[in-house]
Amino acid sequence: MSRITVIGGTGYAGSAIVAEAAARAHQVTALSRSLPDAPIPNVTYVEGDATDEATLSAAIEGADVVVAALAPRGPLAGTFRDVYSTIARLADAAGALLFVVGGYSSLRPAPGADRFVTDLSHIPTELHDEIRAGAALITEDLPATPATLDWVFVSPALRFGAHVPGEQLGRYRLGSDVAVQPEDGGAISAADYALGFVDLIEKGDHHRAQVNLGH
């Protein structure tokens, strides 16, 4: 059993990770600004703003694993990378592992190829800042953290999200920084992403690395 704090634990990705971890009898705390309509049994919900360092610190203290599942949208658009830097620093100080819910665009189509994010010409302009902020975590911010911090950046398949819920298949494919299905293997459901995510936490066999969970 691990003590797992999920920052953004009521969101699309975060709530699925919370549910999977709680179902495996981990001790789960979920931080978000508002409480969920349908709380998951045996989960401790904490209401607070991740832009407040004291709130983050209290949520992270005592955790074995910190999961960062915020999104670089809305009010967090301008502060997302700073908030993640603070999360990383606090996780390091607490001796906790950091698992980050990442994005698809920071993956590569093939070994050694440029990451998808280097060419966003086919993506609507209004999404570029969000995609770039998320990708900067793995291209710049996480590699620059002290070596004492162990982190894993978990990119989903291209098709992932409330708008493409996918089917729960009870399986997933694990890739590295190379997408397992660059040709778009279909949507991965939140439940299957969470299955792979909590497997990664329990196995602990990736260190300061990016992985891809797809179908």
Ligand X SMILES: NC(=O)c1ccc[n+]([C@@H]2O[C@H](COP(=O)([O-])OP(=O)(O)OC[C@H]3O[C@@H](n4cnc5c(N)ncnc54)[C@H](OP(=O)(O)O)[C@@H]3O)[C@@H](O)[C@H]2O)c1
- Residues contacting residue 203 through CB under 8 Å, at least 6 positions apart: none
CB nearer to ligand X: pick between 1 and 12: 12
d(CA 180, CA 215): 8
One of 21, 29, 65, 134 touching ligand X (CB under 6 A) = 134
Shortest Å, Cβ 64 to ligand X: 20
What are the backbone angles phi and psi of residue 136, rounded to the nearest 5°? -65, -25
Binding status of residue 163 toward ligand X by CB under 6 A: no
- Residues contacting residue 113 through CB under 8 Å, at least 6 positions apart: 178
One of 4, 13, 135, 195 touching ligand X (CB under 6 A) = 13
Q: Is the Cβ–Cβ distance between 76 and 32 less than 8 Å? A: no
CB nearer to ligand X: pick between 7 and 97: 7
Stretch that binds ligand X, among 8-16, 112-120, 191-199, 200-208 (CB under 6 A): 8-16
d(CA 89, CA 156): 24
How far does the chain reach from its first CA to its final CA, in angstroms? 27
One of 25, 42, 49, 82 touching ligand X (CB under 6 A) = 49
Binding status of residue 161 toward ligand X by CB under 6 A: yes
Binding status of residue 10 toward ligand X by CB under 6 A: yes
Give me the residues that bind ligand X (CB under 6 A), please.
8-14, 31-34, 49-51, 69-71, 76, 101, 103-104, 134, 156, 158, 160-161
